[in-house]
Structures are given as C-alpha cells and as structure tokens.
Amino acid sequence: MTALLERYAAITGGDVVDKLRRLARPLRGMRVVHVNSTRAGGGVAEILHKLLPLLNELDIPTDWEIIEGDAEYYQCTKSFHNGLQGETVTIPDALLRHFEETNRRNAERLSDTLRDADVVFIHDPQPAPLLRMLPRRRGTWVWRCHIDVRRPYRPVWNYLRQWVADYDASIFSLSDFAQPLPHPQYLIPPSIDPLSEKNIDLEAGEIDAVYGRFGIDRARPMILQVSRYDRFKDPVGVIQAYRIAKRFVPGLQLVLAGGGADDDPEGEAVLREVHAAADGDDDVHVLLLPSDAHRVINALQRAADIVLQKSTREGFGLTVTEAMWKGKPVIGGNTGGIRLQVMNHHTGFLVSTPEGAALRIRYLLHNRERREHMGALAREFVRDNFLLTRHVGEYLTLMLLLKNGQDNRVLLR
C-alpha cells in the first residue's frame, strides 16, 4: 500500500482502502478527465483537488480541465445557478449565445484531451454543452450536477436540459434533485478529505492564533458561518439570528467567513449587503478570506462553539460536513443536502427562519454537554458516510457499471 493510501487507512480502516484497490483494479489505465469552471473557490474545486490524487494513486490516470470564460459568460452561468435553485431569472438571448460560443471555443481547445478520454465527468452547467460540440468522442460522458435543482425555474432547466440529455449518465447528490432525463441518474453525495489542510487536526496554538488575528474574544461564545457571499447562503439571515440570540446571550460573537469563487460575479454585491446588515457591530466579524485560506478556516471551525449553515438552498454543504468532522453541532437550513447531514436533534438542528436559528443557538450555548454529545455523534456520522474514501468508491463503482453495461449485478473476476 502506498503512503497516501496508508494515511487514509489510518482514519477509515484498512478494509475501506482495500476495497478501493479492488474496485480500481479492473479500471487501471483508463483515462479519466474532469471538467469544471474554476480551480479555486467553492465545493466542486475542493473536491476535485482531493479526488484526483487518490484516483491517480489507484492507477487511474485522471486529469482536470477548466473551462475558460469571461465576465459575461460567468454572468450567464450564475443566472443558470440561481435559476436552477428556483429563482425567477431572465437571461437575454445574446448572453445564451455567448455562453454557447464560449463552450464552442473551449471544445476546440480541449478536443484532443476530451475525445481520447475513456470517461469524462462534466461538472455543473457551465461546461455542459461540450458533449454536443465534440461529436467524434469515444468515451463515456457523465454530467455531475452539484446544485440543488429540486424545484428549478423551468425555463432555465428546459434550456439546460437540451445540453445534458445526451449524456450517458448523470450524478445528483440527492434523489430529490433528480430530473426527468433519458439516462440513468446516479445518486452520489459529495465528501470531505480528512487529510486536507481544511480538515486535518491542528495544534492548539494555531487555533488560538485566530482569536488574536481577527479580534475575537476567546472568553465569550462564538458562532460561525463559513460560505461564499451568496444570497442562497443567507448571511443576512444569520446576522438576524445572531441579533435575536444576543438579547439572551449578551457576550455572543458572530464570525462570517467567506471568499469569492472565480465563477461567482455576485459575491461583491452580497458582501455589501452583509456589511450593511452588520451595521458596525464590533461583535460581528465579516471576513473575506482568500480561496487558499484552508488552515484559517479549519482553525475558525475548531474555535467556534457552534457552526451555522443557514442556507435557503444547498446542493450539499461541504462546510456542514467540515464542521461536523471537527465535532461541532451544526444549525443548518432545512433544505437540500444539509438534510442528509444534519440529523435534527442528533447531529444538530434544522431550521427554517432566523428565529429558529436563534432558538437553537441559545439552547446549545446553554447546554454544553448536549453540544459536545451532538458534536461527537456528528463526527462519527461523517466518518461513516461523508469522507473522500466513500466518494471515490462510488465513482469507481459508477465507472465499473458504465463499463459493464446496465446489468443490475456485476461480478468482478
């Protein structure tokens, strides 16, 4: 076993890693390519940064390509994102033509790599048209949707559906997100990497350092939300919850820690809204962190008493998984992938309003034992279900099934 696999085995158990090696054996040498829209910022890029080394370690040569676009292209794809999550959006035809033309240029640029690949994973809507623009491809193409598309704005979905219908398969995080499509829709929740800088254990000194660095008083309770500045993450709702809870816990401090993603043009506007809502409150710390501030986020999550993810739409919510892995109970929006992780009253609480979040903040801050018990349950739940090894195993299983036809039962020889 290689050193990397041994490190995973130390966390998950040797049987888990041994299973990955056996699943990977029939796939050795297959060329796999992942395509998404950014190498930095957001959950998809984080997953790919960790998924690829492990697949390569298992002797499956895997590359990662980025689709290149300009501000107009990202404006269009951000509208797709908002529309898929249910917002009513209007996208001018000219923007759609620009989106298609950008994909056409990228198809030409990436044609050699993509045409020769055995399996191509296309992540989210941004690069979805690549398939139709490369008619002489030889491999199997899979569309991976990370977005909460439970109730999409139909005109947006109808437009995108034309680009994804021809794929050989698609992957959604939850069954609730699946849409009528003429191919199999596999269900694979995302994961976190326990060996990444974001999730490894830290020395106490490194955790302590974030208090001083950001002016947080370690003697007083601190609640945290880590996420991009995106309206669906409801950072303003978190500030409202903090204000209500602070009436009962006067020493309460709130940290909102986030950064932008290369493919998100709305971040600055939302950040302005957040600053306006914070209204100069010294106990509200609004942090704009660079996309590689993984250890800082790790330390903040470990320093927090409670972690929130009060999203109103959420494909999965890796920050929820990260916090749970650090033994923190999570107060999460009752939506999307958060429901798969936050088991109400067991690993945290699901809430629908700022008032609900405030109630749970007060409850947890006044019940230290309960908080610690929930945190311990949360960590074990992540260990069993949401670590990278499980995720890689499901990708390998999917590739084996695609390679072996549509039999319900495949016996590896």
Partner 1 sequence: MNNGPTIQPFRIHDCSLAAIATGRRAQNLRELRDHIRDVNADSLYYHFWGSRLRPKFDEPVYNNDFASWAHHALRDEIVAERLSVVDPRDHRTLEGLRQELLDIVDFRLDEQEMVPWSKTDEQFSFIRSQIVVFDTGVSVRTPRELIAAIPGLSTSSVFYHFIDARRRTSDGRDDFTVWLEAQQGDFAALVDGLAEVDHYFVTLSSLRDRITEVATRWTGVEVTS
Angle at alpha carbon of residue 228, lines to 225 and 232, rounded to 5°? 85
**11 and 192 in contact (C-beta within 8 Å)?**
no
Q: DSSP for 98-141?
A: HHHHHHHHHHHHHHHHHHH-SEEEEESSTTGGGTTT-TT--SEE
Q: Judged by CB, which is closer to partner 1: 134, or 400?
A: 400
Q: Which of 84, 340, 359, 365 binds partner 1 (CB under 8 A)?
A: 340
Q: Can you give 54-90 as a three-state secondary structure string?
A: HHHHCCCCEEEEECCCCHHHHHHHHHHHHHHCCCCCC
Q: Which of 74, 163, 186, 229 binds partner 1 (CB under 8 A)?
A: 186
Residue 136 interacts with partner 1 (CB under 8 A)? no
Structure tokens at 221: 């309770």
Residue 19 interacts with partner 1 (CB under 8 A)? yes
Q: Judged by CB, which is closer to partner 1: 199, or 347?
A: 347
- The residues near 273 (Cβ < 8 Å, ≥ 6 apart) are 231, 235, 236
Are β-strands 348-351 and 330-333 bridged in parallel, bridged antiparallel, or unpaired? parallel
Residue 184 interacts with partner 1 (CB under 8 A)? yes
Q: Judged by CB, which is closer to partner 1: 112, or 407?
A: 407
Residue 346 interacts with partner 1 (CB under 8 A)? yes
Mask for 358-387, x = binds partner 1 (CB under 8 A)? -----------------------x--xxx-
Binding segment toward partner 1, per CB under 8 A, in 37-45, 239-247, 276-284, 340-348: 340-348
Quote the CA–CA distance of 265 and 284 in Å, as a whole number.
24
Q: Which of 5, 23, 44, 388 binds partner 1 (CB under 8 A)?
A: 23
Mask for 143-182, x = binds partner 1 (CB under 8 A)? -------x---------------------x--xx-xxxx-
Q: How far is the CB of 315 from partner 1 (least distance, A)?
A: 15
Q: Taking the CA atoms of 335, 252, 210 and 279 in sequence, report the sign of the dihedral they define.
A: positive
**8 and 17 in contact (C-beta within 8 Å)?**
yes
Report how far apart the first and last C-alpha atoms of the chain are (Å, whole number): 21
Residue 204 interacts with partner 1 (CB under 8 A)? no
Residue 29 interacts with partner 1 (CB under 8 A)? no
Binding residues for partner 1, rule: CB under 8 A, are 15-16, 18-19, 22-23, 150, 172, 175-176, 178-181, 184-187, 189, 340, 343, 346-347, 381, 384-386, 393-394, 396-398, 400-401, 406-412
